[in-house]
Structure 1
Amino acid sequence: MSVLLIEPFYGGSHKQLMDLLQEELQEDCVLCTLPAKKWHWKARTSALYFMQTVPTSSNYRILFASSVLNLAELAALRPDLGKLKKVLYFHENQLAYPVQKCQERDFQYGYNQILSWFMPEHKLARLEKVIGVKRNGDAYQSEGLPGQQESRAVMKTIDAHPESGLCELQPGLCTTQHEGLPSPAAAPVQAEAPERTNPCQGEDKQHLTFNLSNILSGLDYQQRPLHIAWPHRWEHDKDPETFFKVLMKLKEQDLPFHVSVLGETFSEIPDIFSEAREVLGSSVLHWGYLPSKDDYFRALCTADVVISTAKHEFFGVAMIEAVHCGCYPLCPKALVYPEIFPAEYLYSTPEQLFKRLQNFCKRPDIVRRHLYKGETAGFSWAALGSKFRSLLAAEPREDL
């Protein structure tokens, strides 16, 4: 019980991350969670909840939490936990997270994250000494942070809130590691979706299974239309507007394609989804979240192209998993994508995305014969598990 895992939003990639760590650490940890509902409420109040509910123990050595938790508040409310080595996992940056409407940003969530990883002067001095961080005015430039390039981290996760990063707050190492996919030898894992709504799932799932049977038997592999996958949360930061407008334009030109719109849904769904469902009509192969991991990865394995139109992304696990399943990726030439994907898989504008898909619709054999030119093995648990175990190794307590 030396590792204390705390997750205020226990769903999606947050849940998979904690479940994986608990599985790998086995009996050496205790997990404390709250359901994956009312995210903003959890960010504001979960520290008070966990202050009352986390069991007191002299065995804790490390506290591992996601940045939904206001770690500064919890440390203040529970001094016994404040003395632990702390590792904070960032699924997103609330200071840069896209707002859905033109209104004043609620600064509280970004402020929580600042308080959770802010280090006082003596810790910054130690950080500078230990890992070579040079000061540059009010900013800091890192040199040679361990694993910063080669180990984007590691979780067997799907893109529910897949933007991520690690910050070890005690003794002071801060990295920008990210979520990744499972090793090629193992099947990837999809999270169960909280608050899911999918009225069309039964019919579409049947359709998917029927086509999959034909594809695997080789009956219509060359003849079938291009199959496009969009495996992301149905929320505004994934920019479904851009994705569906491109597809509607393909539809207007009578270009043949199928589309599988995967990913989980929450209580509020952007209006573009219902509009697109009607316009795309028979081009839709599947519509909605697939609760079965096997069905989800089977859908990805039958797709030809996977698309991201995200406006905020720390890593993008769903894209890597789709590539792992054989899809040709098309991603914005922005955010984290240029660090992960070779240039030929990037586009700069919606018009460029349309032109790429237009060509693929006319010649789907181009992507079906294509061999991905990037690397994915380095994101697997097999490659990075030892680094996480080292990060979570129990160490003697130190005075703050």
Structure 2
Amino acid sequence: MSVLLIEAFHGGSHKQLMDLLQEELQDDCVLYTLPAKKWHWKARTAALYFMQTVPASANYRILFASSVLNLAELTALRPDLGKLKKVLYFHENQLAYPVQKCQERDFQYGYNQILSWFMPEHKLAHLEKVIGVKRNGDAYHPEGLPGQQKSSALMKNSNTHCESGLCEAQPGLYTTQHEGLPSPLTVPARLNTSEASESANPCQEEDKEHLTFNLSHILSGPDYQQRPLHIAWPHRWEHDKDPETFFKVLLKLKEKDLPFHVSVLGEAFTEIPDIFSEAKKVLGSSVLHWGYLPSKDDYFRALCMADVVISTAKHEFFGVAMVEAVYCGCYPLCPKALVYPEIFPAEYLYSTPEQLFKRLQNFCKRPDTVRKHLYKGETAGFSWAALGSKFRSLLAAEPREDL
């Protein structure tokens, strides 16, 4: 067991990545996790927990973890782990994460991330040579980024090589050897819900009648090309996914008496934004699906029946759910911001909620145009078939004395 996998928030895309690596590495790795609950507490205390629970071993060569873990604290508490080659995967940037309320940001979470990838001078020089950053005082910033974008881009785009040919920068992967690997997405047979964790929220249990996708009802209804547009929203029910904008657009479609169906997928947690219950009442019979689907087969079946998949996210490093939906045949509509322009062609991007409404309005009037559309982007570069050998190479490399 030469690869030590640590995940302090084992749910959603965090769980998807770790489970895939564990499956592929099999006997060459060991995985230690904490449940996907109360991430604030996990970010503050996970290092102490894993310090006590991860046994010492002479076989470990590489430590692979997500940035929920304060890696600096763990290596300080466990000097034996500090000697390993370390790969840190960033699922988000806590310094730029949208705040839910108008209040002072808790700086600790972003500070933890900075400490976890802080490097001495010789490593910074290596970083400058490999990924093209320049010193600005005591900080390093990627070239060609204006003003405020620079501060968040260093962590978001810590690797600027995109081997899939789809983008100039990739989400989140940082390694002390700077191999520049893009974010993984599993092959179709292994695709899973990016927003799922180990258990459904009890607040959604009351809606079980909405959790089973009634394929027979759809297939026995009007002609496939003439049935109402089917819109999917497969994201966590939390504020950073901006459900308010999504539902405002749908309610405007409803006001215009435009025909559509909607499947609101993804998992809810303890605090559910009020807009969900409000929108469900108004949308009424337009709702085909409402809630988390614990079965990945049911989830992908729902996506395969949808025509359009929407993102209204305010913070996104990659967007696994959107790529999965595209693979299932959905036409994507994403903000012209965040990571989306690096992945999706311009045709699938919108700049304002008004533009999103106009696109959906046209699709509601002519759903057949969406169903006949062939996606003009590329998803194969994000599959495990394309990236598996790169990850195996990364996790097989020996640590070097100059890193």
Task: Provide the residue aligned with 1:148 in structure 2.
Answer: 161
How far 1:200 moved relative to its partner? 4.6
How far 1:211 moved relative to its partner? 2.9
Task: Provide the residue aligned with 1:369 in structure 2.
Answer: 372
Task: Provide the residue aligned with 2:149 in structure 1.
Answer: none
5+ long unaligned stretches in structure 2? 145-156
Amino acid at match of 1:342: P
5+ long unaligned stretches in structure 1? 154-162
How far 1:244 moved relative to its partner? 0.1
Task: Provide the residue aligned with 1:168 in structure 2.
Answer: 175
Structure 2: distance between partners of 1:308 and 1:140: 29
Task: Provide the residue aligned with 1:178 in structure 2.
Answer: 183
Matches of residues 1-12 of structure 1 in structure 2 within 5 Å?
1-12=1-12
In structure 2, relative to structure 1, the CA distance for the partners of 1:207 and 1:388 (3 Å cut) is closer
What is the aligned counterpart of 2:324 among 321, 346, 353? 321
In structure 2, relative to structure 1, the CA distance for the partners of 1:207 and 1:16 (3 Å cut) is closer
Amino acid at match of 2:175: E
Structure 2: distance between partners of 1:195 and 1:292: 11
Give the secondary structure class of the aligned counterpart of 1:314. coil
Identity of aligned residues (%): 78
In structure 2, relative to structure 1, the CA distance for the partners of 1:176 and 1:397 (3 Å cut) is closer
Give the aligned length: 383
Structure 2: distance between partners of 1:145 and 1:233: 25
Supply the RMSD in Å over aligned alpha carbons: 2.3
Structure 2: distance between partners of 1:110 and 1:128: 22
Task: Provide the residue aligned with 1:21 in structure 2.
Answer: 21
Pair 1:296 & 2:299 matched: yes
How far 1:208 moved relative to its partner? 2.7
Task: Provide the residue aligned with 2:140 in structure 1.
Answer: 139
Give the secondary structure class of the aligned counterpart of 1:392. helix
How far 1:149 moved relative to its partner? 1.8
Q: Indicate conservation of the 8 Å contact 1:43/1:69, yes or no.
A: yes
Q: Indicate conservation of the 8 Å contact 1:165/1:179, yes or no.
A: no
Structure 2: distance between partners of 1:248 and 1:145: 39
How far 1:224 moved relative to its partner? 1.2
Task: Provide the residue aligned with 2:108 in structure 1.
Answer: 108
Structure 2: distance between partners of 1:132 and 1:66: 21
Structure 2: distance between partners of 1:357 and 1:201: 27
In structure 2, relative to structure 1, the CA distance for the partners of 1:101 and 1:212 (3 Å cut) is same
Give the secondary structure class of the aligned counterpart of 2:329. coil
How far 1:394 moved relative to its partner? 3.9
Structure 1: distance between partners of 2:280 and 2:80: 53
Q: Indicate conservation of the 8 Å contact 1:164/1:177, yes or no.
A: yes
Q: Indicate conservation of the 8 Å contact 2:5/2:29, yes or no.
A: yes
What is the aligned counterpart of 1:234 among 237, 258, 261? 237
Q: Tell me the alpha carbon deviations over residues 251-271 of structure 1, each in whole angstroms, 9 at most, x when there is no partner.
A: 011110000000011111000
Give the secondary structure class of the aligned counterpart of 2:37. coil
Structure 1: distance between partners of 2:39 and 2:248: 29
How far 1:150 moved relative to its partner? 2.4
**When the two structures are superposed, what TM-score results if normalisation uses the length of structure 2?**
0.90
Amino acid at match of 2:140: A
Matches of residues 354-365 of structure 1 in structure 2 within 5 Å?
354-365=357-368
In structure 2, relative to structure 1, the CA distance for the partners of 1:323 and 1:168 (3 Å cut) is same
How far 1:174 moved relative to its partner? 6.9
Amino acid at match of 2:250: L
Structure 2: distance between partners of 1:243 and 1:152: 30
Q: Indicate conservation of the 8 Å contact 1:227/1:260, yes or no.
A: yes
Task: Provide the residue aligned with 2:211 in structure 1.
Answer: 205
In structure 2, relative to structure 1, the CA distance for the partners of 1:66 and 1:132 (3 Å cut) is closer
